[in-house]
Structure 1
Amino acid sequence: MKKLALYCLSALFLTNLTSCEEEVIAPQCVNGIVLGTTCDGAYLIQLDTNVPLGTSVVFRGDGGAVLAGAGDTTGTAYANVVETFVALPSGITRGQQLFFDVRKAKDKELVHNYCMANVHWYDAPQVILTNISETACATTRTED
């Protein structure tokens, strides 16, 4: 009987180890400022300081499509910057504030594009944005 109980507990323990999924704690309703584009097709976004997912970046100009908006910010240092390959609303401008849910990109979601040597590139963590809104936090939530 002891062997059966030990076997059952072992099987239960192993099942729990293999069936657990990584828990992702994602900040909800974060605001961020669009800084520019990267040469590999991403957008650079500065997050609120209370959401420490990003890194410090010195903006050296748009690496991809040039965004309209705030004046020349080349050479400006920004804290807590991330990049995202998620499509942003059309007509987005540099300096525009957006509201969204955010989480770090999982390994299978990372985009590995590379830039030519003569183009600006940025080393910022990749994130996934959902429920993007230009005016306030979206009321409808979607599950990833």
Structure 2
Amino acid sequence: MTTLSDTGTATRGRVLGAAHVDRAQAATTPFDAPFQDLITDAAWGHVWSRDTITLRERSMMTIALLAGLGNDGELALHLRAIPNTGASRDDVIEALLHVAIYAGVPRANHAIKLAREIFAQADAEEDSA
């Protein structure tokens, strides 16, 4: 029988990559294990694993929310994950245009700068491969 934790771990790996999940699990300590369990079960097992909307749509909403809230570390993680979700760079700019209107130009401006840096790094890595 598949548990919520199993589903969450699988979805998290599909979106963020198995290497990220492996690093997160390896770095888990007794102190933060309850938090890791919470995000694996709730965010990844329950919310991200629902089949009511696509991973692309969830990715765009997540990027917009993280940008609007100024959560740069998580935003960077989700920007790097777009190849795994089906979201495109065009989708990202559309989401960030909404951030500009509904959450503020400074938040969107900063998020666009971060996205440009991440995409340039991804392009450079692709060119060197």
TM-score bracket, normalised by the shorter chain, equals under 0.3
Please report the TM-score for the alignment, with normalisation by the length of structure 2: 0.22
- More helix as a share of residues: 2
- More strand as a share of residues: 1
Please report the TM-score for the alignment, with normalisation by the length of structure 1: 0.21
